[in-house]
Amino acid sequence: MTRVALVTGGMGGLGEAVCVKLAALGYQVVTTYSPGNSKAQEWLAAMRKSGYEFHAYPCDVSDYESAMACVAQVEKEVGAIDVLVNNAGITRDMTFKKMDKTNWDAVIGTNLDSVFNMTKPVCDGMTERGWGRIINISSVNGQKGAFGQTNYSAAKAGMHGFTKALALEVARKGVTVNTISPGYIGTKMVMAIPQEVLDSKIIPQIPMARLGKPEEVAGLVAYLASDEAAFVTGANIAINGGQHMH
Ligand code: NDP
Nearest CA to ligand 1 atom 31: 89
User: Cα of 44 to ligand 1 centre, how many Å?
Assistant: 17
Q: Is the CB–ligand 1 distance for residue 181 below 6 Å?
A: no
Q: Which atom of ligand 1 is nearest to the CA of 86?
A: 32
- What's the sign of the alpha-carbon dihedral 167, 186, 32, 111? positive
Beta-ladder partners of 236: 179
1: pLDDT strictly greater than 90: no
Catalytic residue among 27, 33, 152, 184: 152
157-177 mean pLDDT: 98
User: Cα of 83 to ligand 1 centre, how many Å?
Assistant: 18
Q: Which atom of ligand 1 is nearest to the CA of 110?
A: 18
87-112 mean pLDDT: 98
CATH number of 4-239: 3.40.50.720
88-97 pLDDT tens trace: 999 999 999 9
Nearest CA to ligand 1 atom 4: 12
pLDDT band at 71 (very low <50, low <70, confident <90, very high): very high
52 is catalytic: no
214-229 mean pLDDT: 98
Q: Is the CB–ligand 1 distance for residue 15 below 6 Å?
A: yes
Q: Is the CB–ligand 1 distance for residue 60 below 6 Å?
A: yes
User: Cα of 89 to ligand 1 centre, how many Å?
Assistant: 4
Q: Is the CB–ligand 1 distance for residue 89 below 6 Å?
A: yes
User: Cα of 15 to ligand 1 centre, how many Å?
Assistant: 7
Q: What is the DSSP string of the chain?
A: -PPEEEETTTTSHHHHHHHHHHHHTT-EEEEEE-TT-TTHHHHHHHHHHTT---EEEE--TT-HHHHHHHHHHHHHHT---SEEEE---------TTT--HHHHHHHHIIIIIHHHHHHHHHHHHHHHHT-EEEEEE--HHHHH--TT-HHHHHHHHHHHHHHHHHHHHHGGGTEEEEEEEE--BSSHHHHTS-HHHIIIIIGGG-TT-S-B-HHHHHHHHHHHHSGGGTT--S-EEEESTTS---
177-205 pLDDT tens trace: 999 999 999 998 788 889 999 999 999 99
pTM score of the predicted model: 0.98
